[in-house]
Amino acid sequence: MNHIALKMLMGDRGKYLGIVMGLTFASLIMTQQPAIFLGIMSRSYSFISDVGLPDIWVMDAKVQFVDDIKPLQDTELYRVRGVSGVEWAMPMYKGLLKARLLDGTFQTCNVIGLDDATLIGGPPVMLEGTIEDLRRSDGVIVDIDGAQDKLGKPSPIPGGKPIPLKVGDSLELNDHRAIVVGIAKVTRTFQSQPVVYTTYSRAKNYAPKERKLLSFILVKAKQGQDLAELTRRIRATTGLAAYTREEFATLTYEYFMHNTGIPINFGISVLLGFIVGAAIAGQTFYNSTLENLRQFGVLKAMGTSNWILLRMILLQAVLVGVIGYGLGVGLTALFGYSMRHTILAFKFPWQLLLFSGAGVSLICIFAALLSIIKVIRLEPAIVFKG
Amino acid sequence: MNPSSLAVRCQNVVKVYDTGDQKVTALNGVNLDIALGELMMLVGPSGCGKTTLISVIAGILDQDSGYCEVFGEDLLNMSNQHKLNFRARNIGFVFQAFNLLPALSAAENVSVPLIINGMKRAEAERKAIAVLEQVGLGARVTALSSELSGGQQQRVAIARALVHSPRLIVCDEPTSSLDHETGRNVMTLLKEVALHKDRALVIVTHDARIFDFADRIAEMDDGHIVKVKETRDKAKG
C-alpha cells in the first residue's frame, strides 16, 4: 500500500509542494537562525580560542568575560610564577586604543601586547611577515580584516573601497608611531574591531598611563599537572581568578547569554519559524487528508485496516518531513557557504542538525496525528454518501 | 429459499441514526433474502433506507438490532479484523461517483483490492490488466481517471469490484452519472461479466431505465421492504 500512499500524497502537486515548502521554511529558520546565533556567540570567546598555547588564564577576580578588563599590577606576574606546578607565566595586555588614520579619522582597535621575550599569545595564522618581526622598532601586526577595511587607507575615488594596509605602512596609536610588520588572520571577535598585536612593553607605551596595565597572565602548567588543581592553587595563593581555557570561554559565553538579549531575539525567530512551519505544513497536510477522506473511506470499505491507513499517513508525513528537512538544511548550508567570506557569523555544528531535525519531526508528528485521528474515526459508510 | 443458496439473509434489521436532537429510523425491521446468482435491485424514494441497507449488507455499517447474514456469516458479531478480511475477500463495490483514486492509473486502481488481500503489486497489476481487457479497457490501462470518460470510469470501477472474485457485489446508483446508452452498456457489462451462479449483485438505483436487468426488485419505503417483485424475464424464466 506504500506506493498508493505516496501517489495519493503527490497526486495534488500544489498541496504536496505546499507541505514540503512549509517544512523547508521551518527547517531553514530552525537551522539558519541558531547557526547565526552560535556563530555570534562563538565570537564572544574567539580571542581565547585563538591564544592556543597557555593552559590557564589568570586575571582579576572580578573579571566577568574576556573583554571585561580589570588590570593587575605587574608584580602579580611574579606571584603566579611562584605557584608550584606553573611551568611558565607570561604577561598579556589587552585594551582598546584609538588609531589615527591617514585621513585624520580615528578607529578604535583591540591592541594585544605580547610578552617581549617569548611573544606567547600571538595571532594563530600569519599571512605576511612573521611574529618575530614584532621585535623590529615600532612593529605591529594587524589582522587582515582590519587591514583591508577599518584601518585601510582612504580611497582616492570618493566613496571607493579603502586601500588595504600593507607591511611597511604606518599608523598612529595614541599619538605613537606604529609600523605594520605583518598581517595576520584572526577569528573575528564579537565587537569586530581591528586587532593589533605588539609587544607587552610597547603596548604599555601606547596605552594611557595607568598604575596597572597587566590584563591577563597566561600560564603553562608543568607536564602531568592537573589543571583543575593548579587553577585552585593559583586562586588560593594569589587571590586572583584562574580559569582553564575552556572555563574562561564558558564564562565569557555565559556572560553574553545572560546579559544580552541575543538568545531571546534568536529564540523568538526560531520559535516563529517552528510555529509558522507547523501551521503551514500541518494545515496543508491535514487539508490534503481531508480532501482524500473519501479515498481513505473507499480503502477502508474494501478491507484496509486502520493500522495500514495509519502507516500510509505516517509514510506520507515521513516523506515530506525528510524532503522538507533536507531542503531546509541544504539551503542553510548553502547560505553559510556563500557567506563564508563575509562578516556574517555562522556556525553549523552537527548538533544543530539534530535540533532542527527534532523540530521538523515534531511538526510532522503533529500534522500526521491530526490526519490519523480523522482517518481512524472515519466510518467507511461515507463511501455511499453523495 | 434453500439457505445454502442464499447470499444474504436479513431478518428484522433495524438501524436508527442519532443526530443529536432527533433519532431517525433508517431501517425499521427489514426482511430480505438475496440468492446466489441473483441480481437484486433496491428501489424507492430518497431517504427510504436503501443505502443504509446495502451498507449493512456490505459490512461497513452495523445494524442496531436484527440479524444480517452474508454467506452464512453473522456480520454484527464478527471481530473488526475478521470483518475487514471478510469484506476484502467477499465484497466488491461499485459507487455512483466511481470513487477511483485519482492519482492512480486504471490498472493501479483495479489492483487495489488484490493488494489489500496481500498480493504482490506486480502480480496484482498483471491481473488487473487482464480484467480491464475483459471490460473493454485494455487500451487504457495506464490512463488516470481524469483522462477517462464517465462510462470508462465506471467500467474501471466494475473491474475493481470484480478483480478479486468477490461473491457479493454491491452497487450504489451505478448508472445515475451516465447517459442512457452508457448506463445500459454498463449494466449489460455488469450482468455479463459480474453475475454468475456463485455470486450475487445488489444494486441500489433510482434509474427506471435499467429495471429490466434485475432478477428481482425490492421496493423500499420508510425503512421497510414494501414489495419484492420478480421482473417479467425472470418470471418467465
As given in the structure block, the three cell numbers for residue A311 are 502507516
pLDDT at B235: 46
Q: SS3 of A86, please?
A: strand
Q: Which of B51, B84, B104 sits opposite A305 (nearest CB)?
A: B84
Q: Is the pLDDT confidence value at B10 over 50?
A: yes
- Kindly report, residue by residue over B59-93, the tens digit of the pLDDT: 888 888 898 888 888 888 888 888 888 989 999 98
Both A349 and A204 in one domain: the answer is no
Q: Does A254 reside within a domain?
A: no
Which residue in B has a C-alpha nearest to residue A307's C-alpha?
Answer: B81
What domain count does chain A have?
A: 2
User: What is the helix (H) or strand (E) element at residue B187, kind and residue range?
Assistant: helix B180-189
Q: Which of A239, A270, A303 is the last residue of a domain?
A: A239
Both A270 and A207 in one domain: the answer is no
* Interchain proximity A379–B112, CB inside 8 Å: no
Q: Which residues of chain A have a CB within 8 Å of the CB of B58?
A: 301
- Confidence band (pLDDT; 50, 70, 90) for B233? low
Both A173 and A231 in one domain: the answer is yes
Alpha-carbon distance of A45 to A115, in angstroms, equals 21
Q: Does A48 reside within a domain?
A: no
* Interchain proximity B60–A302, CB inside 8 Å: no
Q: CB-based burial of residue B29 (10 Å sphere; 0-12 exposed, 13-18 middle, 19+ buried)? A: middle
Name the percent of chain B lying above pLDDT 90: 15
Q: CB-based burial of residue A377 (10 Å sphere; 0-12 exposed, 13-18 middle, 19+ buried)? A: exposed
As given in the structure block, the three cell numbers for residue A240 are 586572583
Sign of CA dihedral B103, B104, B110, B116: negative
Q: Which residues of chain B have a CB within 8 Å of the CB of A13?
A: none
Alpha-carbon distance of B225 to B49, in angstroms, equals 9
Q: Are strands B224-230 and B216-221 parallel, antiparallel or unpaired?
A: antiparallel
A contact set with B (CB within 8 A) = 1, 3-4, 7-8, 10-12, 294-295, 298-305, 379-381, 383-386
Both A90 and A211 in one domain: the answer is yes
Distance of CA B154 to the CA centre of its chain: 13
* Interchain proximity A3–B60, CB inside 8 Å: no
* Interchain proximity B117–A303, CB inside 8 Å: yes
Both A269 and A353 in one domain: the answer is yes
Q: Which of A190, A206, A239 is the last residue of a domain?
A: A239
Both A83 and A230 in one domain: the answer is yes
* Interchain proximity A11–B81, CB inside 8 Å: no
pLDDT at B2: 59
Q: Is the pLDDT confidence value at B12 over 80?
A: yes
Q: Does A180 reside within a domain?
A: yes
Both A139 and A8 in one domain: the answer is no
Computed over every residue of chain B, the mean pLDDT equals 85
Does the model's pTM come out above 0.90? no
Which residue in A has a C-alpha nearest to residue B101's C-alpha?
Answer: A295
Which residue in A has a C-alpha nearest to residue B105's C-alpha?
Answer: A7
B 119-138 residues with CB below 8 A of A?
A: 121
* Interchain proximity B60–A379, CB inside 8 Å: yes
- Confidence band (pLDDT; 50, 70, 90) for B236? very low
Contacts with B89 (C-beta within 8 Å, 6 or more apart), sequence order: A303, B117, B164, B166
Task: To the nearest 10°, report the CA torsion of A375, A378, A382, A383.
Answer: 40
Work out the minimum CA distance from A125 to partner chain B, whole angstroms: 60
Q: What is the ipTM of this complex?
A: 0.86
Both A218 and A137 in one domain: the answer is yes
Both A227 and A332 in one domain: the answer is no
Q: Does A158 reside within a domain?
A: yes
Q: Does A66 reside within a domain?
A: no
User: CA B21, B27, B32 angle in degrees (round to 5)?
Assistant: 175
Q: Which of A7, A294, A302 sits opposite B113 (nearest CB)?
A: A302
pLDDT at B237: 42
pLDDT at A249: 92
pLDDT at A52: 79
C-alpha distances in angstroms, B149 versus A100, A133, B156? 84, 87, 10
For residues B11-36, average pLDDT: 87
Q: Does A145 reside within a domain?
A: yes
CATH for B3-236 is 3.40.50.300
Both A220 and A103 in one domain: the answer is yes
Both A217 and A278 in one domain: the answer is no
Both A229 and A349 in one domain: the answer is no
As given in the structure block, the three cell numbers for residue A102 are 591617514
Spans of chain A, pLDDT less than 50: none
Q: Does A8 reside within a domain?
A: yes
What is the count of residue pairs from A and B with beta carbons less than 8 Å apart? 75
* Interchain proximity A302–B116, CB inside 8 Å: yes
Q: Which of A239, A271, A293 is the last residue of a domain?
A: A239
For residues B33-57, average pLDDT: 89
What single DSSP character describes residue A175?
Answer: T
- Domain range enclosing A265: 2-43+261-384
Q: Which residues of chain A have a CB within 8 Å of the CB of B121?
A: 3
Q: CB-based burial of residue B54 (10 Å sphere; 0-12 exposed, 13-18 middle, 19+ buried)? A: buried
Tell me the range of A253-262, A266-275, B123-132, B186-195 where mean pLDDT is highest: B123-132
Q: Does A89 reside within a domain?
A: yes
Which residue in A has a C-alpha nearest to residue B51's C-alpha?
Answer: A384
